[in-house]
Amino acid sequence: MKLWYLWILILLISCSEPEILKEITWNNNRISWEVLDGGATTSCRWLIKYSEDGENNKDLIFESYSSPYIADIEVYKDELLIFCPDFRNRVNDTIKINLKDIDKYIDEPIVYELDVLKRNNEYYKEPDFVKEDREYAIANGLL
């Protein structure tokens, strides 16, 4: 019986629609920051998607399950800035994506799961603070 409830819970979570937290534009293209909130049983899944001018479909370019935790996004010149909240008194907690290489991120989105980089591409440079968070989590038995 417990397995039945677990299956229904997984089905409900997997069928839920992400909530759009913010949409910004870059060169008439749309970048959306979305979240799938797992509620009390699971962590949030942060999604950053890209839509070309006039297109309705959204392509995933960045995903983070639980951590790195995303607090906000902005575009500055040709860079997507993904802001992560302060943790352990760090100063620079920003993930940067060069939007001139956006096609590479559409083809190979960046995917994190609990600070572990699960999917990467040659254009993404992982920030030191994410590596340090992963090392801290491993050292303290949090992963």
What does the pLDDT look like over 76-100, one tens digit per residue? Answer: 999 999 998 866 666 668 999 999 9
DSSP 18: P
Q: Return d(Cα 25, Cα 42) in angstroms, integer.
A: 31
Domain ranges of the chain: 16-139
pLDDT tens-digit map of 13-41: 555 688 999 999 999 999 999 998 766 65
Mean pLDDT of the chain: 84
Q: Which two tokens stand for residue 140?
A: 């303290």
